[in-house]
């Protein structure tokens, strides 16, 4: 299904919103709760599915279950311009960070991103889940076995934490903190490697494992994963139930030995 062609403007710096201009009859799909505002003439409806293809009840239920596994709402909101003029709808991320616009057609029609990164997309974009191909990556990759896959030929908007760095890999490899991977093209090989010696793993403060991406493709990194931000907030509040994600060192690092990172 050919995606709708969207015009947009990203507004703001660290607390960004994306304002999307819809032609008459045009539709944008968005994560539930992401809307900031809509102009007169735009209607919205919560649907079980992205609308990329016709599905029966069973297909929609399976798709909803898959979205639940990836940590997303089982419903998506469809915003349609019912007016005879161009109208605008705006969407915002749930925490400080950046909104990344991506043209899927320029990336071969597919993008893999972290869980809960999806914000909005042109109608016709297909959302599904991506299982990591290696057991080690699933257990120790920070995002578990499940990532998001976005497919289509239109624009998608994903939200990530902190500052965004875009890198182009041409056959080389890059070792990355597992939580700092925001999105990458499927042409890159994703694996998990031990973070140096046992002493470095326990006392280095960088966690037990690092992600390795290698090959030819495009990669987006985030400077502030939400898990890191939440961990700092929990520590500052004095709540003892917080589980560090590997940002501390020394004796505290021992407590992270069996954490989900």
Domains of the chain: residue spans and CATH = 7-162 (3.60.160.10)
Burial tier of 84 (Cβ tally within 10 Å: 0-12, 13-18, 19+): exposed
Name beta bridge partners: 216.
170
**The predicted structure's pLDDT at residue 25:** 94
- Cβ 182 vs Cβ 115: under 8 Å: no
**The predicted structure's pLDDT at residue 246:** 42
Distances (CA, A) of 129 to 4, 62, 72, 101: 22, 11, 10, 20
Q: How many CB atoms lie within 10 A of CB 77?
A: 20
Q: Using one digit for the tens of pLDDT, what is the confidence trace for 62-100?
A: 656 666 665 566 788 999 999 999 999 999 988 889 999
**The predicted structure's pLDDT at residue 237:** 81
Nearest to 76 by CA among 136, 18, 175, 150: 150
Residues of the chain below pLDDT 50:
135, 137-138, 141-144, 201, 242-261
Which pTM was predicted? 0.76
**To 10 degrees, the CA torsion angle through 88, 103, 62, 188?**
-150
3-state helix, strand, coil split of the chain in percent (to 5) is 20, 45, 40
Q: How many CB atoms lie within 10 A of CB 10?
A: 14
- Cβ 219 vs Cβ 187: under 8 Å: no
Nearest to 105 by CA among 167, 159, 185: 185
**The predicted structure's pLDDT at residue 249:** 39
- Cβ 48 vs Cβ 74: under 8 Å: yes
Gyration radius (Cα) of the chain, Å: 19
User: Going along 143-222, which residue ranges are E strands?
Assistant: 146-151, 155-161, 164-177, 181-184, 189-194, 209-222
Name beta bridge partners: 81.
42
**The predicted structure's pLDDT at residue 16:** 94
**The predicted structure's pLDDT at residue 133:** 52
For every residue of 110-138, DSSP letters joined together read EEEE-TT-EEEEETT-EEEEEE-SSHHHH
| CA 149 – CA 222 distance, rounded (Å) | 18
Phi, psi for residue 139 in degrees, rounded to 5: -75, -35
Q: Using one digit for the tens of pLDDT, what is the confidence trace for 163-199?
A: 999 999 999 999 888 788 899 999 999 887 766 555 5
């Amino acid at each position: 299904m050919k995606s709708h062609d969207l015009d947009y403007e990203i507004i703001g710096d660290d607390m960004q919103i994306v304002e999307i201009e819809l032609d008459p009859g045009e539709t944008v799909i968005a994560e539930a709760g992401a809307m900031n505002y809509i102009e007169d003439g735009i209607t919205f409806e919560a649907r079980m599915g992205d609308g990329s293809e016709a599905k029966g009840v069973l297909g929609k239920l399976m798709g909803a279950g898959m979205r639940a596994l990836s940590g997303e709402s089982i419903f998506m909101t469809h915003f349609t311009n019912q007016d005879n003029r161009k109208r605008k709808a705006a969407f915002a991320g749930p925490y400080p960070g950046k909104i990344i616009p991506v043209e899927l057609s320029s990336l071969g029609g597919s993008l893999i991103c972290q869980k809960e990164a999806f914000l909005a997309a042109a109608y016709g974009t297909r959302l599904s889940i991506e299982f990591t191909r290696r057991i080690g990556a699933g257990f120790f990759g920070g995002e578990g076995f499940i990532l998001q896959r976005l497919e289509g030929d239109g624009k998608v908007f994903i939200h990530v934490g902190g500052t965004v760095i875009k890198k182009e890999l041409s056959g080389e490899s890059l070792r990355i903190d597992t939580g700092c991977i925001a999105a990458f093209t499927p042409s890159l090989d994703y694996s998990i490697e031990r973070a140096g010696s046992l002493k470095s793993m326990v006392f280095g403060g960088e966690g037990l494992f690092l992600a390795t991406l290698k090959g030819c493709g495009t990669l987006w990194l985030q400077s502030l994963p939400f898990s890191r931000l939440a961990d700092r907030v929990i520590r500052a509040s004095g709540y003892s139930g917080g589980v560090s994600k590997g940002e501390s060192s020394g004796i505290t690092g021992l407590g992270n030995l069996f954490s989900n990172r």
